[in-house]
Amino acid sequence: MSDSEEHHFESKADAGASKTYPQQAGTIRKNGYIVIKNRPCKVVEVSTSKTGKHGHAKCHFVAIDIFNGKKLEDIVPSSHNCDVPHVNRTEYQLIDISEDGFVSLLTENGNTKDDLRLPTDDNLLGQIKAGFAEGKDLVVTVMSAMGEEQICALKDIGPK
């Protein structure tokens, strides 16, 4: 192979960071996060069964998908590793709501972020639309995990 050959790599701009990290099933607790069926979930219930005649204690996880609210369950031997999603929460100031259901948000460095839809939760959706219509300064909290993002909370920081 000569030095004159050029290599081109497709970049997805995540610097090779993994979307999940391994954690032993026996150490995951209630209110923690876990990946079940390739979906990031928040654990609502954990029960551990005793070791049987042939080996492993098992952890039974009941969890709710953090983006669509669906309930998922999984049973894993407590000594095995489970995938745990990297969950980040970021706050952005709401600038505008477009007619097609997308929001325009102001990032910390002054740029705009226009690729997020309004939340599907009717209660939160109503609060955002009502507050925006009244001209309030609103800050939304965006939760991101495994390449997905969604608005999950709202704060009113006073009138404009």
CB burial of residue 72 (10 Å; 0-12, 13-18, 19+): middle
**How high is the pLDDT of residue 158?**
64
CA proximity to 39, closest of 15, 6, 61 = 61
Cα→Cα distances 8→3, 4, 17, 88, Å: 14, 13, 19, 31
> Do 95 and 128 touch, CB atoms closer than 8 A?
no
Average pLDDT (58-83) is 91
Q: Residue 87 and residue 65: Cα distance in Å, rounded? A: 12
In this structure, of 21-30, 37-46, 122-131, the range with the lowest mean pLDDT score is 122-131
Residue 11 neighbours by CB distance under 10 Å? 8
Domain architecture of the chain: domains with CATH = 20-85 (2.30.30.30), 87-156 (2.40.50.140)
Cα 103 to the center of its chain, rounded Å: 18
* Residues 6 or more apart in contact with residue 120 via CB below 8 angstroms: 68
Residue with tokens 């219509």, as numbered in its chain: 133
Query: What is the per-residue pLDDT across 9-37, written as a single tens digit (0 to 9) for each?
Result: 444 445 445 788 999 998 999 999 999 99
